[in-house]
Copies of this chain bind each other. A is one copy, B any other.
Amino acid sequence: MSDLAPLPRKRGRPRLDPATPGHAREGLLRAGVALLTEKGFSAVGLEEMLAAAAMPKGSFYRYFPSKEAFGLALIDRYDGYFQRKLRRHLEAAERAPLDRLADFIADARDGMARHGFARGCLVGNLGQEMGVLPESFRARIIAVFAEWEALLARCLAEARLTGQLMGHDPEALAAFFWIGWEGAVLRAKLERSPAPLDAFAAGFFRLISPSV
């Protein structure tokens, strides 16, 4: 993200020294994403996030004017991470379009498994909590889903060109996929199991390409 001090680039997540200003902000964003994918915004106090990031309470307002501004930064952070993952799979020209979607699903499934299916989707969690969240989150989260839909619709349009998609409309199908996928992530967290992700993915592929 362009407003961060440069960080050491190596595989895996580098350890961050909270005494370094750029590192402190980065550490807080990481801790926030981890806690919000697992617990949601209203269940997590600012103190818990600060403790997870080893940041003294007084320092928070050096980086964010409010918990709301911090929440919006967390949405941006998660969206950036997730779009990189999506593009890596959905724009992989060497793979057939529907195989790219299957690759994304396998990657997301591995990601949930790595955290024992305790962590879901940050924007899905926040969407569920909108009843008690700052209104500024609503438009931002809707915009995030629209971006993910556009990326998937482009991939599905390619699938239609190559005859993989029967007659279905790529944009309607992309909207349908994300609506259902968020439900699948929710159920996977509930059941602590990949079964709902697998059931939704298998159903989706069977329904859009009955011959597959």
Q: When the two chains form the complex, which single residue of B179, B200, B202, B204 contacts A199, counting CB atoms closer than 8 Å?
A: B179
Whole-angstrom distance between the Cβ of A144 and the nearest chain B Cβ: 10
- Asked whether A106 is an interface residue with its Cβ less than 8 Å from the other chain, the reply is no
Which chain B residues lie closer than 8 Å to A132 at the CB level?
39-40, 43
Whole-angstrom distance between the Cβ of A139 and the nearest chain B Cβ: 10
- Asked whether A148 is an interface residue with its Cβ less than 8 Å from the other chain, the reply is no
Whole-angstrom distance between the Cβ of A134 and the nearest chain B Cβ: 13
Q: When the two chains form the complex, which single residue of B118, B129, B172, B181 contacts A40, counting CB atoms closer than 8 Å?
A: B129
Which chain B residues lie closer than 8 Å to A202 at the CB level?
172
Q: In whole angstroms, what is the CA distance A86 to B168 when docked?
A: 30
B-contact bits for A147-174, CB 8 A (1 contact / 0 none): 0000000000000000000101000110
- Asked whether A183 is an interface residue with its Cβ less than 8 Å from the other chain, the reply is yes
- Asked whether A107 is an interface residue with its Cβ less than 8 Å from the other chain, the reply is no
- Asked whether A30 is an interface residue with its Cβ less than 8 Å from the other chain, the reply is no
- Asked whether A24 is an interface residue with its Cβ less than 8 Å from the other chain, the reply is no
Q: In whole angstroms, what is the CA distance A212 to B168 when docked?
A: 13
Which chain B residues lie closer than 8 Å to A175 at the CB level?
196, 199, 203
| Majority-rule SS of A interface residues | helix
The count of identical subunits is: 2
- Asked whether A63 is an interface residue with its Cβ less than 8 Å from the other chain, the reply is no
Whole-angstrom distance between the Cβ of A47 and the nearest chain B Cβ: 15
Residue contact B186 to A182, C-beta cutoff 8 Å: yes
B-contact bits for A102-126, CB 8 A (1 contact / 0 none): 0000000000000000101000110
Complex A-B: 21 CB contacts under 8 Å: A38-B131, A39-B132, A40-B42, A42-B42, A43-B43, A43-B129, A43-B131, A118-B131, A124-B128, A125-B128, A127-B190, A128-B189, A142-B190, A173-B203, A175-B199, A179-B187, A180-B180, A181-B183, A182-B187, A183-B184, A186-B186
Q: A40-B40, A175-B199 are in contact. List 8 more A-B contacts (CB 8 A).
A: A42-B43, A138-B190, A173-B203, A179-B184, A180-B200, A181-B183, A183-B186, A186-B186
